[in-house]
Structure 1
């Protein structure tokens, strides 16, 4: 199945798509290289579009801001996704689910689809917030469905499993955001210092 078809189906017919996903063979590497690494680039592409159009904060900080934000967000975001797959897999038995490395990665990767697509429009003031909230809610729903389909968590425990996974995901994301902001601020200060030093020569 093509990447576009998979993304479309997981968004518009998730229940039937999760059943197909559960039956599929594959590898974690293939899941990342053939899906996650491609769609995870959408927010970075959106940032580039915002830079080209001088939307949002990009017009103030320039290309340096874009490079640091896009590259750091992309790499660390994929790292967090992989970490969440490990955590989701470890949590499954506590909610009567079945441990399976590949299934857990499938669940978190495909559930992240709405966030990546919404992230493309992150350069649009106002709309980005609404899309982010909608994507978060829908990703939670996909995770809920996926927990039952691929991790075999009973329906009566799927809400708890989903909630715990999301809470951990949010905490991890806040930590990542702090790291990105630290890198970004250091980069901006460093650039400003170089410009100031050049001005005094």
Structure 2
């Protein structure tokens, strides 16, 4: 049996993006575990931005005034993609721990699997938007897609973590603020690899 059911994956992505409230209700009742979520959803979708970004930076690059088109050597791009991918897989798990830990503070129920569902499915818009990094100049659109992930997070907290609807907004705000700190730290870890990456060939035009 294939590790990822592509039809089911695409169907879930479409429904969570277009009908989030209805889909969160369905997701709430699904029996899941961490391994299944990673194998069938997180691993394939989190790969979109790293793969597209690596292709985009090596093939298309970015055109700058007075500089020309800047591209990354393939080895550098692949290294950057691998680091970003690994941190994305770690980040979604840690983000789920944050969601789970904060649940009681907003009259919710702690449940690590449910929290991982919220984290994974709310990241859908951001992950799918990663396709725009195929053309680095369009990466800003990928960032805009991430804003929709914030709404998906808000929409999923109440049904999955059993937090009252009137507490969903403050719950989401606190999760987002703590999440920002998390991803700043992960970004710092990623940046720590950049000096060594420069030795792999640097930029080329």
- SS of 2:133's partner is coil
1:138 to 145, 148, 154: 148
Q: CA deviation at 1:40?
A: 0.4
Return the TM-score normalized by structure 2. Answer: 0.86
Structure 2: 5+ residue runs without aligned partners? 1-6, 64-68
Q: CA deviation at 1:137?
A: 1.9
What is the alpha-carbon root mean square deviation over aligned residues? 1.9
Q: How many residues align?
A: 191
Note if 1:22 corresponds to 2:28: yes
Q: 8 Å contact 2:62–2:137 — kept in the other structure?
A: no
Q: 8 Å contact 2:16–2:24 — kept in the other structure?
A: yes
Note if 1:60 corresponds to 2:71: yes
Q: 8 Å contact 2:17–2:125 — kept in the other structure?
A: yes
Note if 1:97 corresponds to 2:97: no
Query: In structure 2, how many angstroms separate the alpha carbons of the residues matched to 1:52 and 1:73?
Result: 16
- The residue that corresponds to 1:31 in the other structure is 37
Q: 8 Å contact 1:44–1:120 — kept in the other structure?
A: no
Higher helix share: 1
Note if 1:191 corresponds to 2:200: yes
- The residue that corresponds to 1:3 in the other structure is 9
Note if 1:84 corresponds to 2:95: yes
Structure 1: 5+ residue runs without aligned partners? 194-201
